[in-house]
Structure 1
Amino acid sequence: MEHFSLEAEQSIIGSILKSPELIYEVTLQPEEFYHAGHKIVFEKMIELRDVNTKIDIVSLVASLGDQIQELGGASYLLKLSQSIPTVANFVYHEQIVREKSLMREGMRSLDEVYNAGFDDPAEFAAELTSIAEVIGDGSRRKEGFVHISEGLESHYNQLQEKKYSEKPVGISTAGTALDRITGKWQKQSLNIIAARPSVGKTALMLNNARKNAHEGMTVAIFSLEQPERQLYDRMISAECLIDGDRIRTGQLLDNEWEKYVVAYAKMVGLSLYIDDRPGLTIQEIRSAVRKLKKKNPDLIVYIDYLQLIKGGKKFDNRTMEVGYVSTSLKHMSRENDCPVIALAQLSRGVEQRQDKRPMLSDLRESGNIEQDADTITFLYRDDYYDKETEKKNIIECIVAKNREGSVGTAEMINMKQYGKFVDIDINHHELPDIRKGA
């Protein structure tokens, strides 16, 4: 099969010569043309458009100069303009040129991958997946505008669903105060939870994930830092309020075994999946999420943590790679219509300030994270820095960016021995008053 269509390319150029205003509607780029002469002509058409010069055979021949000979002279352009009976198929032919270009680009990329001589199967697979995504994204390109009648009809249906559906709007976070500020996790959103090491990012993520699964969501966790067994230890500890150290060592008291069995029975039926492969590429993550989404439409994705994801190809520097990963995660949330929550490490720059609460500026050296994220929540514990603080076992969830809502700080009790977070005003007889360190 030929990966080009000279007829479609000729139709594009001939249609523009016949109806010059089409140059303002065309979305192709010169490099998408296969025929060298067609590329040159289209480039000149773009140049004439950019200087507000009407495109016709005279202006085009003058702009091309000696290059016109590569097309066989001005007669070739005249033939093209006269051979187009109608421009009605312009968009269709434009799509053909684009699809053929995507196929050629894909074949070139495959040749490059083949000739690169990969020794690592994972890197090889990541490159192949990346090529497939580029072709897939390009082939799904659609018209940009939606008429207000269509848009409002969709909006009306969504509003009706929110009003009368029993399903809550958005997906819960670990705390009600945090829900109020963030408006909960929304579909197609990228949400960043960032902090210094050992502040509580993973614990908060597991609290969120466990709560979402109990509420009927399908939860996917990519744990690039810790093996799945450690996550089970932590989730069981928080579920049944058994000290995490005893869970890890297996030294459970008799009554704790009973609590463990009850928690086990509650959790074993949850729709919760963990992928703990280290060194995953963003292409592998997107592929895994896509497969899981097909079987589980109500999906939420957690990643621990963003900076451990590999870009799957070569980059000039680490910042560019992190930016590529961040943008890819945002695309993943949209293509799978699900929230993505990614943990992120903050640099040591936080430690240099007197007030060590993180700020958005602490993310500026981390690729495009600040730009791509819909919400950014920083975690801060005063007792992490000041052992004598009156705010023992209190974690601050600082919502510093919220594209569709407010910003602010939600405080929660951090029950460190269980790895559990609870609302600060909770009233439950089983929970000790640990705000004073008890």
Structure 2
Amino acid sequence: MSFHSIETEQAQLGSILKEPDLIYESILSPEHFFDAAHELIYETMITMRESDQRIDPVSLVAKLGERVSDMGGVQYLIKLSDAVPSVQGFNRYERIIKDKYLLRTGAKSMKEIYGDIPDDPKELAAELMSLAENIGDQVHTGGGFNHIGDGLMQHFELLENKKYNGISAGVSTIGKALDKITGRWQKQTLNIIAARPSVGKTAFMLQNAVINGKDGMAVAIFSLEQPEMQLYDRIISAECSIDGELIRTGKLTDDDWTKYTMGMANLAELKIYIDDKPGQSVQEIRAAVRKLKKKHTDLIVFIDYLQLIQGGKRFGSRTEEVGYISNSLKQMARENDCPVIALAQLSRSVEQRQDKRPMMSDLRESGNIEQDADTITFLYRDDYYNQETEKKNIIECIVAKNRNGAVGTAEMVNMRNFGRFVELERVYA
């Protein structure tokens, strides 16, 4: 495998000398060139482009000055112009140069990694996956311009579906009232569900996962806090209406066993996948989601919970690491065209206020979560703090951020013995 192509670099530079306007189409940077003389020539061309100077051999020599001897003299520039086979291959020349540069960069990074191997094998694996992702992002050929006519046609189809079929774009949340506020979870979005411990984040996630599974979606659950069997306890309790304590102790009545077996049969048909490996890095999660996406077009991802994800490499601070993780989750949502729902713990600052309803500032110490998230929903139970409250067994779903919609609060009944939430038809703007 060759890590450079001198001939291709010559053809790219020669094409610009033949047709100077090609410099405005170029996507390369000087560092992409392997040959030092070619890097110097191209860097000078970029400088001339920025000052609106026309590029030709004579002007280029004048701009290079005494440095012209470093790249072979005037004759070498003439040779470049005469040797190019065809300017029609300009874009192909640039792709080859960029690919060769990425190969060199990858090889150099691998050498650096193996020259200083981390003590933890997980960290080494994370470095390798991170490197692969970075190179993959740079060679990605998708995207580019989309004509407004094509985009508007897609928009028309979506709007027509809503108008005549009553179908709202996006993925259902846990309740209709919350759907009304959020506009449902959209593809390519990062959605945060945040609360203090033991308020009901995991129950919220699991009930939503089953709802989405019943809608025919593939559901990926990354449980970094609880083992898989504990999640099954909670899913079965909520779905089969069996008291969670009876499932934990195994003291089921005959009626409970009937509900259990029927519920098991229904749940087993759903496309729900659970990964309960603790201490996963964000690179591992991205790799697993990418693999699952190849099998299932309609996918939704749940993560319990964000602050337990490892950044996979060294950072200056935990805040910086969590910021990197939240940004990576946002990119994962976009590259897999799916909603990502990440649970998050709130800071203890909530406990120090008289009104303990969460606010956006309670997330600020956690890196860029507030910035990266498309929606942020706080879960709040007044009876968690106040035993005398009139709102016993009521959970407030407070939508504090909604990039493309409204904010507000939806209330639901919290059936704690089943780990399930039930609609309460009250919505506050």
The CA distance in 1 between the partners of 2:143 and 2:189, in whole Å, is 22
The 1:282/1:76 distance shift into structure 2, 3 A limit, reads same
The CA distance in 2 between the partners of 1:84 and 1:57, in whole Å, is 14
Deviation at 1:118, TM superposition (A): 4.1
Q: In structure 2, what is the equivalent of residue 432 of structure 1?
A: none
Where do residues 187-198 of structure 1 align in structure 2 (5 Å cutoff)?
A: 187-198=187-198
Q: In structure 1, what is the equivalent of residue 392 of structure 2?
A: 392
Deviation at 1:45, TM superposition (A): 2.5
Deviation at 1:349, TM superposition (A): 2.6
The 1:157/1:86 distance shift into structure 2, 3 A limit, reads farther
The 1:211/1:160 distance shift into structure 2, 3 A limit, reads same
The CA distance in 2 between the partners of 1:168 and 1:22, in whole Å, is 46
Identity %: 63
Secondary structure of the structure 2 residue equivalent to 1:150: helix
Name the stretch that deviates more: 63-72 or 277-286. Answer: 63-72
Where do residues 122-271 of structure 1 align in structure 2 (5 Å cutoff)?
A: 122-142=122-142, 144-159=144-159, 169-271=169-271
Deviation at 1:125, TM superposition (A): 2.5
The CA distance in 1 between the partners of 2:75 and 2:354, in whole Å, is 75
Matched, 1:288 2:276: no
Q: In structure 1, what is the equivalent of residue 354 of structure 2?
A: 354
The 1:353/1:104 distance shift into structure 2, 3 A limit, reads same
Question: What TM-score do you get using the length of structure 1 for normalisation?
Answer: 0.90
The 1:71/1:346 distance shift into structure 2, 3 A limit, reads same
Q: What letter is aligned with 1:261?
A: T
Q: In structure 2, what is the equivalent of residue 7 of structure 1?
A: 7
Q: In structure 2, what is the equivalent of residue 429 of structure 1?
A: none
- CA deviations 1:171-203 (Å, max 9, x no partner) are 111111001111111222211111222221111
Secondary structure of the structure 1 residue equivalent to 2:87: coil
The 1:158/1:139 distance shift into structure 2, 3 A limit, reads farther
The CA distance in 1 between the partners of 2:348 and 2:41, in whole Å, is 54
Deviation at 1:302, TM superposition (A): 0.3
Aligned 8 A contact 2:187 2:337 in 1: yes
Deviation at 1:372, TM superposition (A): 2.0
Q: What letter is aligned with 2:269?
A: G
Deviation at 1:424, TM superposition (A): 1.1
Deviation at 1:156, TM superposition (A): 4.2
Secondary structure of the structure 2 residue equivalent to 1:277: coil
Aligned 8 A contact 2:177 2:425 in 1: no
The CA distance in 2 between the partners of 1:141 and 1:320, in whole Å, is 30
Deviation at 1:222, TM superposition (A): 0.2
The CA distance in 2 between the partners of 1:363 and 1:62, in whole Å, is 57
Q: In structure 1, what is the equivalent of residue 312 of structure 2?
A: 312
Secondary structure of the structure 1 residue equivalent to 2:245: helix
Aligned 8 A contact 2:11 2:85 in 1: no
Name the stretch that deviates more: 211-220 or 274-283. Answer: 211-220
The CA distance in 1 between the partners of 2:201 and 2:215, in whole Å, is 21
Q: What letter is aligned with 1:256?
A: D
The CA distance in 1 between the partners of 2:20 and 2:349, in whole Å, is 56
Aligned 8 A contact 2:10 2:84 in 1: no
Question: What TM-score do you get using the length of structure 2 for normalisation?
Answer: 0.91
Q: In structure 2, what is the equivalent of residue 87 of structure 1?
A: 87
The 1:362/1:59 distance shift into structure 2, 3 A limit, reads farther
Aligned 8 A contact 2:363 2:369 in 1: yes
The 1:83/1:394 distance shift into structure 2, 3 A limit, reads same
The CA distance in 2 between the partners of 1:100 and 1:163, in whole Å, is 51
- What residue ranges of structure 2 are gaps of 5+ in the alignment? none
- What residue ranges of structure 1 are gaps of 5+ in the alignment? 427-438
- CA deviations 1:380-404 (Å, max 9, x no partner) are 2222222222112211111122222
Q: In structure 2, what is the equivalent of residue 107 of structure 1?
A: 107
Q: What letter is aligned with 2:412?
A: M
Deviation at 1:157, TM superposition (A): 4.8
The 1:104/1:158 distance shift into structure 2, 3 A limit, reads farther
- CA deviations 1:229-283 (Å, max 9, x no partner) are 1111111111122222222122223432332223222212221111000011111
